[in-house]
Every structure is written in C-alpha cells, then in structure tokens.
Amino acid sequence: MWSKTMIGYGPEDDNFVLELTYNYGVKSYQLGNDYEAITIHSKRVYANLVAQGLGTPLTRGSGAPVLEVAAPDGYRFHVVDADPSTGPCPVTELALNVSDLERSLAFWSGFLGFSVQRSVDGEAELSCGPAQCLLRLRQLAPGQQLERGTA
C-alpha cells in the first residue's frame, strides 16, 4: 500500500513541487549517487538554520553564504542566504549526477525540450523556461558508476 503527497511553496502550476511517495511497510531506502542536492534561496530558511546551529557552510564562489543540510534520509539541500531573483518560488535548482553528460543533455534538451543555459567542465545548466528552477547535470568522475539505490 502507498500514498502520494505533493509539497512545495505554492501551486504546482507555477512553483517547484516535490512528490513524496509513502510505501507503507518499507522501513528504509538506499540513497544512490544520482541525486546531488536541491537549492533553496531564502533568507528566512537560512536564518532559521543558523539559529538552530544546523548546516555546513559551502564555498560557492562569490555571492551569498550557503549552508548544506541533509534530511534524516540523506537527501541534501543547499540553502542560500538570499531571496530568489527569478520569481516567487525559492526552489531554484535541482542538481543531478550523471554517468554520461552528452547522453543526458540529448535526453533533457533534445527529447524533453529543456534549453541548455551553460555547459562547461563536465557540468551543464538547463532550463525549461523563464523563472523556472534550473536543472544542473554533473558528470561523475571517470570510472565512477551511477548508483540509483532504491530511493
């Protein structure tokens, strides 16, 4: 038996939402290395993390400070001390690791119609439209296998 729940910062028509699936009776899932992180731009969330003493500072070039936090199941979130500049939704990026960047770009841009915003040094940023969450694809290191786990 299972059920689904959608969560997000607003209606799914104009906000990034996550679909949670509850599989009753399943005690845990094995997290693979395909998921990297979801980035959230929110001064309020960042301040709450600092107040609770949570998060690990990340270095992301110049710009606003970033904290990495992980959910109890291991899913990582990067929280930026800035409000979103692209629209009302604070979820600004989904980062995935891939085993073959060129094949992944062919799928996401060729088949699904995402536009490539930038592609350099084994990493690509894609968009499905203005003010939408970016999709960041990162090439795994040579010889590293993609592991999807059971999550």
pLDDT for residue 4 = 66
Q: How far is it, in rounded angstroms, from Cα 5 to Cα 132? A: 21
- Give the chain's length: 151
Q: Domain limits of the chain?
A: 2-139
Q: How far is it, in rounded angstroms, from Cα 113 to Cα 139? A: 20
Q: Is a pLDDT exceeding 80 seen at residue 126?
A: yes
Q: How far is it, in rounded angstroms, from Cα 99 to Cα 75? A: 19
pLDDT for residue 151 = 64
CATH of domain 2-139: 3.10.180.10
Average pLDDT over the chain, rounded to an integer: 88
pTM of the model: 0.84
pLDDT for residue 76 = 93
Q: Helical H runs in 1-151?
A: 43-52, 101-105
pLDDT for residue 3 = 67
Q: How far is it, in rounded angstroms, from Cα 79 to Cα 103? A: 30
